[in-house]
Structures are given as C-alpha cells and as structure tokens.
Structure 1
Amino acid sequence: MSRWEPNARGRLERAALELYSERGFEQTTVTEIAKRAGLTERTFFRHYADKREVLFAGSATLEELLVGALEGAPGSATPIAAVARALDAAAAAFEERRPHSQQRQKVISANAELRERELIKLASLSAALSAALRRRGVADPTASLAAEAGITVFKIGFERWIDESNQQSMSQIMRESFEQLKAVTAGN
C-alpha cells in the first residue's frame, strides 16, 4: 500500500457508509472500513477518532457555516431572520449531498447511540447560534429561543428534505418551515 492516499477522508467516508448500510453500524469494524477504502487502520485513525465520527465529522464545518452566515446578516435583521439566513446558507451547502444525507440518516436512525449523538450535534449547533446572537447584542432568553427554534426548523426541514417522495429543494423546505413556525407563533 502506498504511503500517500489521495482523498483518504472521502474514501473512508464512502466505505463506512456502504458498510453501515449493508451490515449495520454495530457489525462494521474500523478494519473493514479501512480495507474497503483500500487504506490502513492507522490511516483511518489519522482522520477519525472512532467509527461514529465518520458520520459526524462535518459538524464543525456546518457550525462554522451557520455561525458565519448568521454573523453576516444585516444588523437590522431580527434574531429569527438572522437564524433563517444561517439555515438558508446551510441548505444551499446540503443541496448537492442529498443521496449522501439520505444514506447517512438511515444509518443514524437505525442506531440509538447514533441518534443520541445526532441530538448532541443539534444541541451544539443551537448553542453556537445562540452565542452568535448574543454577540450581536440579542439578550437571553430571546437568543436561546431564536436559536432553538431555528434548529427545530432545521431538523424538521432536513427530515422532510431527505424523504424519498420530496421533490423540493432544501431551501424551499426551510423557508416553508419558517413560515409555518411564524403561523404557529402568531396563533393561527
């Protein structure tokens, strides 16, 4: 095996998703993932702490994208409008990864430990958005409420978007979900 492996992370991610889908998360080993990717276990551990992290490695990038978009919202934007802007940026980034997202979510949904890890990721995203809103001068509990509402919209919108019968873009779904949230909070 060569010492340098081009796109090792991508190969490991694809191999892991394939194996998790074929055999299940619990039944798949790091050795099998590395072998399927044509790499070594050592290479796997250079990129990921454990086999769960293959599914969650993009969390930091997603958080940076959300926070960056929120921070780029006009100063006059309401807290929820700034959060909506952040989710719109995330939706655009996800759009080309729909098949990957569908496959990843099936693996996560089939495993309680992974579902728990997904909830922790969502809580972390909410905390990051809340902190970004506070840096913009939004006081609590408004910052926390706007961030939590936004992450709820993201979660529900994401679930709708990966549904096989869905034909809408993630951006369309996020905008619709925000409109539905507004209707709910307006008492309609």
Structure 2
Amino acid sequence: MDDTRPGSRVEEGRGLSRNPFHFTEGHGNPATAAEITERATVRTGQGEPSWAVGGSYQVIRIIRLATDFWDRDTIEEQERIIGRRRNGRWPDGTPSTERAVFAADPHGRTTPLDAHVRRAAPDRRTPPPMVRRSYNYDRGADDQGLIFSCFQSDLEKGFEAVQRRLQGEAMAKYTLTTGGGYFFVPPPGVSWLDALTKN
C-alpha cells in the first residue's frame, strides 16, 4: 500500500497536508516540541512501569473514505460536515491558527453540533491530549482513504475519548474503518526485551 501526504507543509510549527476529502489536516496538533512531548509521552506518576516512562501509546487505523459519495456534496455541505473551511479557517472566519470558541455558538448555527471538529474537541481551549498524523492511500477507485496514526500518553484520555465523542457525527456515513491496532512505542534506549522482562 503506497501512502502520501499531498500538500505537505509546515505552518506555525504544525505539519499540514491535504486528505482525500480535499481538506487540510494537522491544525489541531501542537506547534512546539515541548507541547508534543507533553501530549504524546508517558510521564512518571501515571501508574505505568518505569521502563514505559518516555514512551508513547500509538493507535493506527486504516480508514476507507467514500470519496465518490463525498464529492457529490457541495463544498458548503462538506465544510458543514467537517466544521472547517477547506483551507482550515473556521466557519466564522477565525484563522486556522486560532481556536474556535464553540460556547459562543451553543445551537450550532455557525459550526453544526454534529460537525467532525466540534465532536472531536468540543472545548477548543483544551484540545485532545494526543498528536496525530494521517497519510493518504490509494488502492484503486473503490479503495481510497487514510492511514491514521496518533500518539498519546493515555489511551483513555486521548484516542478513546475522542472516538466516544465522534459517535453520531455527520461524517460517519462517508467512512469505514477496515484495520489498525494499538501499539506501545518504548522510549529511546529501551528494547522490546527490556519491556517484556522489566516491571
């Protein structure tokens, strides 16, 4: 399976790219190495074994996207479903580098209540504690989508919390998860043998 990151670039410290739905991804990631470390790595005091400190929990999902079905919708409808403009700006015109305040739009007149970004992170002041990156894949006309990958210090507070909030989102009918898994990436200098034999 070939994977790509079309339109890959860095803006305001964030790595961005364009997904098969024509939208820019990566705006929600932290912009500094310190923020990335804070969200993605296990810290002392989390109840994890000592060898895990400095490592990260990774989730990978293979997500098939119904691109033909999606492309039948107008750009305005696509932006309503995502909750952002294609260029990353918020529906009210707020720049992509700033956080939308959904509390000022309680009835979803500007950003619909079932929009992807609103469900994923309903309080933009406290984004999900994870770092994500996606790669596009194309295995023919009937199988295109994303290889989604995210890293976090806590699966329950990161990926799993986001997945619970996404239930009932408007974008669900355009996506199908076909594979993936949960992994642990040990910290530098710790081998898999160490991880298996140490407490």
Greater per-residue helix proportion: 1
Same fold (TM over 0.5): no
Normalised to the residue count of structure 1, the TM-score between the two structures is: 0.29
Q: Which has the higher contact order (CA 8 A, sep 6+)?
A: 2
